[in-house]
Structure 1
Amino acid sequence: MQSFHSYCISASGEERAGGDMQARFPYWSFTKTAIAICALKLSENGTVNLDGCVDGEAYTLRQLLNHTAGLPDYGALKDYHDAVAAGGEPWSRDKLLSAALARGMLFAPDAGWSYSNIGYMLAREHIEAASGLSFAQLMTDLISTPLGLTSVALVTTREEFAQLHCEAAGKYAPGWVYHGCLAGNVRDAARLLHGLFSGKLLSAASMAEMQVTIPLGGALEGRPWTECGYALGLMSGAMGEAGRSAGHSGGGPSCVNAVYHFPDLREPVTGACFTDGHYEGVAETELGRLVQNFG
């Protein structure tokens, strides 16, 4: 039987929760939203330039964050998935890049769109080098402390991952997520995104930049999306009757999540849904159902 853990909060502060609020889950690709928030905050204070080329390459930080840099993704590598399934230790950074870039770039920067975890690894490395702080420290200073999030932390070892509410706990090395894997409870996931859209993390100008969306098409089979796009660290489009949605889904061995803000409801609602399995569409669909029944 599918097990759901959810938390929703409206613009006026009404809250609804279901499942275990203490359990901590891997946030998987929702981590990308946090990386993008940190990058935008560092852009506000002049530490990074979103439109400056990264480490002498042709692509910019903005292009890394919206997946238009032209970089391939290691998710397409059979050897990568075989190594993860075998329970092995993560490859070195050099081995990963050598395998992923064996056929070169997919396209010139800004000449297309392709989802790339490698792009977010490079974005994370760039903001760490520019700020002199680790992503874990940036996350604490720029997001967790301002919002009072107490459960969120970067997991880096098998031992840390073993403490999470996930069937793969104890069997998986989080280093396989090369941009980093945050973990926390479902409530703090929703509160992170709620804080972002409540204006507690970024300036109005930065929020406007973050939401500039590259349209990517219409409905996705088996998922609630009726309009798809990608902004800076945000999957951005629409989910049927729930209306416009912006946030991120995530998935990895044995569990998935969906964390989204829905501004078109009678009252805007931000929510998170975590569940077992391998298909993000299940979490997305359940979250869409929950927010439409809110209020």
Structure 2
Amino acid sequence: MPLRPLPSPAAVAPRRLRKAALVTVCVAALTALTPSAAGARPSAPDDRALQQEIDEFAGAPGGPPGIIAVLRDGRGTRVLRAGTADLRTGRPPRAHDHMRIASVAKAFSGAVALTLVNSKDLALDDTLRERLPRLPRAWGSVTLRQLLNHTSGLPDYTQAPAFRETVTADPRHHFDSRRLLDYVADEPLDFKPGSRYRYSNSDNIAVALMAEAVTGTTYERLLDELVYRKLGLRDTSLPQGYRLPKPYLHGYDVSVPDAPEDISEVLGASGVWASGGIVSTPSDLNRFVRGYAGGELYGRKVVREQRRWVKGASEPAGPGRNSAGLALFRYTTRCGVVLGHTGNFPGYTQLAAATPDGRRSLTFSVTAQINKELAPAQLERLRAVQEDFVCALLRKGR
């Protein structure tokens, strides 16, 4: 990819400071790795109204350069898009463009783990002491269930000073993904397992390690055998480096008044791995969430366990009222319920959701990082727009 023109000398220092600050905030946002806007809203806006919403959202000061939404229902697939996939060329976003799916990757680790629960290779009550005895003794009573619904109390490794310092100094640093929990190995649990909800990237790293421990197979291969192949995903992968397969949706740092900066390949994926490192496409992600939320990968007993909801929100929060299940969230909107996951990563914000029967699905991808730390007002607006898309998805007659 051609390099962008170098900034003027006067802009170099501010740009470097801003990028350093961005990386620091993004590391915290890897943890993320409010109600909808007030006022009366139509129960189910039509596609013309939805298109106007995303055009206005992308065109607003500080808005994301690109948006693409894929909706699938009983009548087929609709794709709505706004802005551009690449500010340099101006080409539109496409459903087969690659992108970082951020914390939606946690749903993939859930898919692997729950498939192994279904085959009885794992049990939801299996503990870290039993499956991963090398981890700190103080964490031993944490169960797979508690990891999957973020009630484990594991300290979040992405908040560890040593991890943050490494990423800030070298955003493309190659981590040993299977040793990420070492950054917090000397810390106690944040709370008694099962006593409260707290979203933690450490949870899904531990889930992947448990899956590897009981199968003797790498997590990457488990993804391929248990998820990609079964759901027909052809453009989804878990890379270790910072490169994205082409073509891809370019992700941007949008910091007014500066011009948007392409940060698609600023950070490597090895430091987020099973917690946020997967690369997919809007089309593949839509296919995944339809099968995953609809329970295609395992039997009804496991589906029932997955849908035991506790109070908790995804990061960033999804549309409507959020509740947490096992690597799955319930989004209760004014028009009905969908199940799925959100995520954000430098340059990207994602929502993937489907009806509980998997017959209707939605992916909503934005090429800027939007969360409560970086842009709380923008997140409120995004959630309102997402809720309108959910309403359109659930509209009767489709």
TM-score tier (shorter) = 0.7 to 0.9
Question: How far 1:254 moved relative to its partner?
Answer: 1.2
**Against the structure 1 CA distance between its residues 91 and 224, is the aligned structure 2 distance closer, same or farther, given a 3 Å change threshold?**
closer
TM alignment of 1:22-61, pairs within 5 A? 22-54=96-128, 55-56=132-133, 57-61=140-144
Question: How far 1:132 moved relative to its partner?
Answer: 1.8
2:153 aligned partner: 70
Does residue 182 (structure 1) correspond to residue 278 (structure 2)? The answer is yes
Question: How far 1:61 moved relative to its partner?
Answer: 1.1
**Structure 2: how far apart are the matches of 1:102 and 1:242?**
46
Aligned partner of 1:170 among 240, 244, 265: 265
Query: Are the aligned partners of 2:69 and 2:362 in contact in 1 as well (CA < 8 Å)?
Result: yes
Residue by residue, what CA displacement relative to the aligned partner does 1:163-191 show, whole Å, maximum 9, x if unpaired? 64233233211112142511111011111
TM alignment of 1:86-105, pairs within 5 A? 86=169, 87-91=171-175, 96-105=180-189
Does residue 110 (structure 1) correspond to residue 194 (structure 2)? The answer is yes
**Structure 2: how far apart are the matches of 1:94 and 1:150?**
25
**Against the structure 1 CA distance between its residues 94 and 7, is the aligned structure 2 distance closer, same or farther, given a 3 Å change threshold?**
closer
Aligned partner of 1:286 among 374, 385, 396: 385
1:20 aligned partner: 94
1:228 aligned partner: 322
Could you tell which deviates more after superposition, 56-65 or 84-93?
A: 84-93
Amino acid at match of 1:202: Y
3-state DSSP class of the match of 1:150?
coil
TM alignment of 1:78-157, pairs within 5 A? 80-81=163-164, 83-86=166-169, 87-91=171-175, 96-157=180-241
3-state DSSP class of the match of 2:270?
helix
Does residue 6 (structure 1) correspond to residue 101 (structure 2)? The answer is no
**When the two structures are superposed, what TM-score results if normalisation uses the length of structure 1?**
0.86
**Against the structure 1 CA distance between its residues 99 and 132, is the aligned structure 2 distance closer, same or farther, given a 3 Å change threshold?**
closer
1:247 aligned partner: 340
**Structure 1: how far apart are the matches of 2:116 and 2:193?**
22
Question: How far 1:228 moved relative to its partner?
Answer: 2.2
**Against the structure 1 CA distance between its residues 269 and 156, is the aligned structure 2 distance closer, same or farther, given a 3 Å change threshold?**
same
Consecutive unaligned residues of structure 2, counting only runs of 5 or more, are: 1-58, 81-92, 134-139, 252-262, 372-378
**Structure 1: how far apart are the matches of 2:283 and 2:327?**
20
**Structure 2: how far apart are the matches of 1:62 and 1:33?**
14
Question: How far 1:22 moved relative to its partner?
Answer: 1.7
Amino acid at match of 2:69: S
3-state DSSP class of the match of 1:72?
coil
Query: Are the aligned partners of 2:240 and 2:270 in contact in 1 as well (CA < 8 Å)?
Result: yes
Residue by residue, what CA displacement relative to the aligned partner does 1:14-35 show, whole Å, maximum 9, x if unpaired? 2211341121111111111111
Query: Are the aligned partners of 1:246 and 1:261 in contact in 2 as well (CA < 8 Å)?
Result: yes
3-state DSSP class of the match of 2:341?
strand
**Structure 1: how far apart are the matches of 2:361 and 2:331?**
15
Query: Are the aligned partners of 2:318 and 2:341 in contact in 1 as well (CA < 8 Å)?
Result: no
**Structure 2: how far apart are the matches of 1:71 and 1:208?**
25
Question: How far 1:98 moved relative to its partner?
Answer: 4.8
Question: How far 1:42 moved relative to its partner?
Answer: 0.7
Amino acid at match of 1:228: N
Amino acid at match of 1:4: I
**Against the structure 1 CA distance between its residues 157 and 17, is the aligned structure 2 distance closer, same or farther, given a 3 Å change threshold?**
same
Residue by residue, what CA displacement relative to the aligned partner does 1:189-232 show, whole Å, maximum 9, x if unpaired? 11111112444222111111111111238xx9x96644222111
**Against the structure 1 CA distance between its residues 45 and 273, is the aligned structure 2 distance closer, same or farther, given a 3 Å change threshold?**
same
**Structure 1: how far apart are the matches of 2:163 and 2:216?**
31
* Structure with greater Cα Rg: 2
Does residue 269 (structure 1) correspond to residue 364 (structure 2)? The answer is no
Could you tell which deviates more after superposition, 157-166 or 104-113?
A: 157-166
Query: Are the aligned partners of 1:245 and 1:262 in contact in 2 as well (CA < 8 Å)?
Result: yes
Could you tell which deviates more after superposition, 226-235 or 160-169?
A: 160-169
Query: Are the aligned partners of 1:242 and 1:262 in contact in 2 as well (CA < 8 Å)?
Result: no
Could you tell which deviates more after superposition, 155-164 or 109-118?
A: 155-164
**Against the structure 1 CA distance between its residues 286 and 126, is the aligned structure 2 distance closer, same or farther, given a 3 Å change threshold?**
same
How many residue pairs get aligned? The number is 288
Question: How far 1:288 moved relative to its partner?
Answer: 2.4
Question: How far 1:283 moved relative to its partner?
Answer: 5.3
Could you tell which deviates more after superposition, 282-291 or 61-70?
A: 282-291
Query: Are the aligned partners of 1:248 and 1:259 in contact in 2 as well (CA < 8 Å)?
Result: yes
Q: What percentage of aligned pairs have identical amino acids?
A: 20
Does residue 203 (structure 1) correspond to residue 303 (structure 2)? The answer is no
Query: Are the aligned partners of 2:178 and 2:209 in contact in 1 as well (CA < 8 Å)?
Result: no
Query: Are the aligned partners of 1:155 and 1:161 in contact in 2 as well (CA < 8 Å)?
Result: no
CA RMSD of aligned residues (A): 2.8
Query: Are the aligned partners of 1:118 and 1:179 in contact in 2 as well (CA < 8 Å)?
Result: no
3-state DSSP class of the match of 2:284?
helix
Residue by residue, what CA displacement relative to the aligned partner does 1:85-117 show, whole Å, maximum 9, x if unpaired? 442515556985454355421012112221111
